[in-house]
Amino acid sequence: MAAKRPLQIIFNRIYRGNSCRSFGALSENTMTSSSSQNLIDLEYQRSAHNYHPIPVVFSKAKGSSIWDPEGNKYLDFLSAYSAVNQGHCHPKVLKALTEQAERLTLSSRAFYNDRFPLFADHLTSMFGYEMVLPMNTGAEGVETALKLARKWGYEKKKIPKDEAIIVSCCGCFHGRTLAVISMSCDNEATRGFGPLLPGHLKVDFGDEVALEKIFKVHGDQIAGFLFEPIQGEAGVIIPPEGYLKAVRDLCSKYNILMIADEIQTGLARTGRMLACDWEEVRPDVVVRPLILFDYSRKGIRWRSDTCQCSASRQRCYALHSAGRAWKAGNGCCLSRALYSNAVPPELCSEVYLGESSTSTFGGNPLASAVAVASLDVIREEGLAERSAQMGQELRQLLIKVQQQFPNVIKEVRGKGLFNAVELNSQTLSSVSAYDICIKLKERGVLAKPTHDTIIRLTPPLCMSLNELEEGAKVLHDVLKLDVPKMQKEKPETVSQPATNACDHCGRTL
């Protein structure tokens, strides 16, 4: 996840007061004590500083609740960036995990294991897809989608060798690998890591006119358009209604793979199994700790032995639509590619990805067992519907807070339980979203800022109405009681001209 603040600020925030750290040998006390502060100290000394966490230590969790080592309880309003949508330590998932962990955890794909085939069969028969390719992280999923798009571009679209282009959106976040950061608008993610990967163009998110313009000029070379249906890291940015449909139409018109990164939005988070479902749009490739490929729109033949619907595209999509969604693991690391039976077998393994996309951990028996249980929980507990309903409740509560602090809260927005509160930087002056998240934490609510003025509120989908009310009340209390104090304590800042404009387009997002 994004780590944007300079190290010094992080250091200052974590280590307030006079504590002067000495590096080198750790004291015996530090090694043995498991107090929150000691653990934070230990991590700071012994682990690379690639994050700037809110200073709270998770020690135990259940549902929407977290406890630190001192026994303080918190409400989780982040859900590990949507990785624990079902809630922490769900009993059904836990049972699958512990039973499997006692038997077998890892085989590598050098051999077969007795879970992955069952999982693959469970998944494919449940959703009407033919094959699965298991992977690990979100960035790896995006990387694989990029590789797939390029290969498809050369082999099917006949793009001249090494000229394939991927179009991505300003403000996007797709992970931190080299290929993926090459598309990033976050200078801190890119500077110092060059040369970045060539072969990509940027377009404004939500602007279908600009997208068509790029497609018109460069269409023959463009293999894929990669986008988030709702931009998460950028601050829960929701595109104008009709955008997803327009993207679908344009990708079809210019023969370009539509690649939806649903890593944060997918699998019930926004109130639909996939955010693209809101406009009943079927991308060619969906990345959500999984990748789904749909070649049907690209003129690649259907397998007549398994799919009887070659006569009608619409019917094909309906048949496959139930199979697009998949939840990887309730916090257990698992990513996968799911091939619909629209994909000819030679694309499934040998030609397109095959041994160019293997993984030691992908398809491990532990994650396979957990994934089956996790998916069942989403379905059995109707978490997509719940997210839609509870999301409305949460936004109503937040809008009430906004009405009480109209100068502080600029906007409340979201879909389902994927929400953000945007603060007014002018009114807040030197107080940032991070400062407010620290105060939320002190009052028992865990949320994460993005940029300096946006707080994401994405609780587990099992969160109760009472807990949502408590979260909104705590935000109210922080704005009423803590912000005025912080404003007094911190010197006012004069707003500076933008100094960190995007290296790609020169704008500050």
Alpha carbon of 171 to those of 20, 185, 256, 307: distances in Å? 37, 6, 21, 39
Burial of 409 (0-12, 13-18, 19+ CB in 10 A): buried
**Distance in Å, CB of 72 to ligand PLP, minimum:** 26
d(CA 45, CA 446): 24
Residue number of the CB closest to ligand PLP reads 138
- Please say which residue, 152 or 173, places its beta carbon nearer to ligand PLP: 173
**Distance in Å, CB of 190 to ligand PLP, minimum:** 16
Sequence-distant (6+) residues with CB within 8 A of 484 are none
Question: What tokens were used for 113?
Answer: 């294991």
Among 143, 186, 208, 261, binds ligand PLP (CB under 6 A): 261
| Binding segment toward ligand PLP, per CB under 6 A, in 132-140, 430-438, 449-457, 463-471 | 132-140
Instruction: State which of positions 67-86 bind ligand PLP (CB under 6 A).
Output: 81
Positive or negative CA dihedral for 83, 85, 87, 92?
Answer: negative
Among 1, 26, 178, 505, binds ligand PLP (CB under 6 A): 1
**Residue 271 interacts with ligand PLP (CB under 6 A)?**
no
**Distance in Å, CB of 243 to ligand PLP, minimum:** 16
Residue closest to 36 by CA, chosen among 90, 84, 81, 74 = 74
- Asked if 136 and 171 count as a contact pair (C-beta separation under 8 A), the reply is no
| Binding segment toward ligand PLP, per CB under 6 A, in 106-114, 226-234, 275-283, 376-384 | 226-234
Cis peptide bond N-terminal to 195, omega within 30: yes
- Asked if 396 and 438 count as a contact pair (C-beta separation under 8 A), the reply is no
d(CA 263, CA 268): 11
Between 149 and 178, how does the x/- string for binding to ligand PLP read (CB under 6 A)?
------------------------xxx---
- Asked if 374 and 86 count as a contact pair (C-beta separation under 8 A), the reply is yes
**Residue 239 interacts with ligand PLP (CB under 6 A)?**
no
Among 232, 239, 365, 414, binds ligand PLP (CB under 6 A): 232
- Please say which residue, 137 or 374, places its beta carbon nearer to ligand PLP: 137
**Residue 138 interacts with ligand PLP (CB under 6 A)?**
yes
Report the DSSP pairing between strands 335-340 and 290-293.
Answer: parallel
Alpha carbon of 400 to those of 255, 334, 410, 427, 509: distances in Å? 46, 39, 13, 19, 28
Number of residues that bind ligand PLP (CB under 6 A): 15
Q: Alpha helices, DSSP H only, in 47-167?
A: 79-82, 91-103, 116-127, 138-155
**Distance in Å, CB of 226 to ligand PLP, minimum:** 10
Among 113, 184, 264, 364, binds ligand PLP (CB under 6 A): 264
Burial of 362 (0-12, 13-18, 19+ CB in 10 A): buried
**End-to-end Cα separation, the chain, in angstroms:** 17
**Residue 374 interacts with ligand PLP (CB under 6 A)?**
no
The CA radius of gyration of the chain, in Å to the nearest whole number, is 23
Between 296 and 335, how does the x/- string for binding to ligand PLP read (CB under 6 A)?
----------------------------------------
- Please say which residue, 184 or 453, places its beta carbon nearer to ligand PLP: 184
**Residue 361 interacts with ligand PLP (CB under 6 A)?**
no
Mapping DSSP to helix (H, G, I), strand (E, B) and coil, where does residue 497 land?
Answer: coil
Among 14, 166, 263, 463, binds ligand PLP (CB under 6 A): 263
| Binding segment toward ligand PLP, per CB under 6 A, in 133-141, 162-170, 194-202, 384-392 | 133-141
- Please say which residue, 316 or 420, places its beta carbon nearer to ligand PLP: 420
Among 76, 143, 208, 228, binds ligand PLP (CB under 6 A): 228
**Residue numbers at the binding site for ligand PLP (CB under 6 A):** 1, 81, 137-139, 142, 173-175, 228, 232-233, 261, 263-264
